[in-house]
Amino acid sequence: RKEVEQDPGPFNVPEGATVAFNCTYSNSASQSFFWYRQDCRKEPKLLMSVYSSGNEDGRFTAQLNRASQYISLLIRDSKLSDSATYLCVVNCNAGGTSYGKLTFGQGTILTVHP
């Protein structure tokens, strides 16, 4: 089983649509959670951190359910510029060591069309 699993998509949605991405992780010791965005042939860029209380940044809402080991990202009122790959990322400071290893999902491809 992969440590972080995402539906790879692709998701093809019209402008203005609401789209949701889901992600599950297997390591219950995971401590930090993120969504990164990656444009074609570019590096991943931090979109937002994810907290148990849920957090919102404009049109983007992220949720974490530690009991179910489940992370979600909701994008409202999709724009053409939202087209990208969305990576679910988990940071686990394993075994009491100090380092943070980012574990990425495969990524979910989103295409927003006119």
Partner 1 sequence: ETGVTQSPTHLIKTRGQQVTLRCSSQSGHNTVSWYQQALGQGPQFIFQYYREEENGRGNFPPRFSGLQFPNYSSELNVNALELDDSALYLCASSLASAETQYFGPGTRLLVL
Q: Does 4 bind partner 1 (CB under 8 A)?
A: yes
Could you tell me how far CA 42 lies from the centroid of its own chain? 17
Q: Are 106 and 7 in contact (CB under 8 A)?
A: no
Chosen residue from 22, 49, 72, 111 binding partner 1 by CB under 8 A? 49
* CA contacts within 13 A on the Cβ side of 36: 20
Chosen residue from 47, 63, 78, 105 binding partner 1 by CB under 8 A? 105
Q: Please, which residue, 72 or 93, has the CB nearer to partner 1?
A: 93
Chosen residue from 25, 64, 83, 107 binding partner 1 by CB under 8 A? 107
Q: Does 46 bind partner 1 (CB under 8 A)?
A: yes
Chosen residue from 45, 59, 79, 113 binding partner 1 by CB under 8 A? 45
Number of residues that bind partner 1 (CB under 8 A): 25
Q: Does 60 bind partner 1 (CB under 8 A)?
A: no
In order, the DSSP letters of 15-45 are: TT--EEEEEEE--TT--EEEEEEE-TTS-EE
Give the residue from 84, 30, 92 showing the smallest Cα distance to 73.
84
